[in-house]
């Protein structure tokens, strides 16, 4: 029976063979790589991956799709909401130090998934995700651009990122109303050791009124914390480079 895409799960199934090949080439799976795929769906990406890997762990919330995937002898299926998955536990279960994580992320919860993985980045070797192109533009944005914001700062602190492939709507069934792209995310070895919740709160406050000078938002937040260090709040949030936000979090 044909599976009908479920809107509540944000399902859009990849159906373009050339795009699938290009994504697999970008991921470059090697035999035995400890890889986890989020949202395998109808296995368009899953099948070419497992053929190269030998074994693959997949996370699928849709119980009908999970039941189909369990029929594949080389797949380990975790039927769960990815936002509740412990990736460190997966690594331990398969005897890996670091995981390679891939997937066509549901666009309606892509940002929470990215932050969930950010909190578990110590067990991540690399990540390749298909996302809404607009989200990837925000992830890789430079300071003083309209796309630069909370997501840019939090992710660029911990990852080196690259937009590696454009994916048009007609590559999916059903086609989404937005353009998509594939991003490569490599955890930085030189990332400063700071509290992720603190950085998240700091940038959320900073970008809460991005048209105003920081003295109206972050300045007041710093005063409430009795911050005695130096930080120029006579700027807008988008004018502050990632490393300066990170340095501020270190001082705090």
Domains of the chain, each with CATH number or no CATH: 7-187 (3.40.50.150), 196-251 (1.10.8.100)
* Residue 179 assigned ligand-binding role: no
* Residue 12 assigned ligand-binding role: yes
Encode pLDDT of 174-184 as tens digits.
Answer: 887 889 999 99
Q: What are the residues facing 163 on neighbouring strands?
A: 183
Give the pLDDT band of residue 3 (cuts 50, 70, 90). very low
Give the pLDDT band of residue 4 (cuts 50, 70, 90). very low
Q: Is 173's pLDDT higher than 90?
A: no
- Compute the average pLDDT of residues 143-159: 96
Confidence (pLDDT) at 138? 96
* Residue 73 assigned ligand-binding role: no
CB-count exposure of residue 1 (10 Å: 0-12, 13-18, 19+): exposed
* Residue 243 assigned ligand-binding role: no
CB atoms within 10 A of CB 239: 14
CB-count exposure of residue 11 (10 Å: 0-12, 13-18, 19+): buried
Q: Is 221's pLDDT higher than 80?
A: yes
- Compute the average pLDDT of residues 184-204: 95
Q: Which residues contact 134 (CB under 8 A, 6 or more apart)?
A: 178, 179
H or E segment to which residue 195 belongs: none
Q: Quick one: angle between helices 17-27 and 46-53, nearest 10?
A: 40
Encode pLDDT of 34-70 as tens digits.
Answer: 999 999 988 889 999 999 999 999 999 999 999 999 9
* Residue 14 assigned ligand-binding role: yes
* Residue 104 assigned ligand-binding role: yes
Nearest to 82 by CA among 45, 134, 40: 40
Q: Is 205's pLDDT higher than 50?
A: yes
Q: What is the pTM of this model?
A: 0.89
């Amino acid at each position: 029976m044909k599976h009908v895409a479920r809107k509540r799960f944000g399902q859009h199934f990849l159906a373009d063979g050339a795009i699938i090949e290009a994504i697999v080439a970008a991921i470059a799976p090697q035999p035995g790589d400890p890889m986890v795929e989020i949202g395998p769906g109808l296995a368009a990406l899953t099948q070419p991956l497992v053929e190269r890997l030998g074994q693959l762990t997949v996370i699928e919330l849709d119980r009908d799709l999970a039941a189909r995937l369990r029929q594949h002898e080389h797949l380990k299926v975790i039927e769960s909401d990815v936002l509740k998955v412990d990736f460190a536990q997966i690594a331990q279960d398969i005897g890996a130090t670091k995981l390679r994580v891939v997937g066509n992320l549901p666009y309606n919860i892509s940002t929470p998934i990215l932050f969930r993985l950010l909190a578990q980045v110590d067990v991540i070797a690399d990540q390749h995700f298909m996302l809404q192109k607009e989200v990837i533009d925000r992830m890789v944005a430079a300071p003083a651009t309209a796309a630069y914001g909370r997501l840019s700062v939090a992710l660029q602190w911990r990852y080196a990122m690259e937009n590696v492939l454009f994916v048009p709507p007609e590559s999916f069934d059903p086609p989404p109303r937005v353009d998509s792209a594939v991003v490569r995310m490599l955890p930085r070895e030189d990332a400063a050791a700071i509290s992720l919740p603190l950085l998240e709160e700091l940038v959320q406050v900073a970008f809460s009124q991005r048209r105003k000078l920081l003295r109206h938002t972050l300045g007041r937040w710093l005063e409430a914390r009795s911050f005695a260090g130096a930080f120029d709040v006579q700027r807008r949030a988008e004018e502050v480079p990632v490393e300066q936000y990170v340095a501020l979090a270190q001082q705090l």
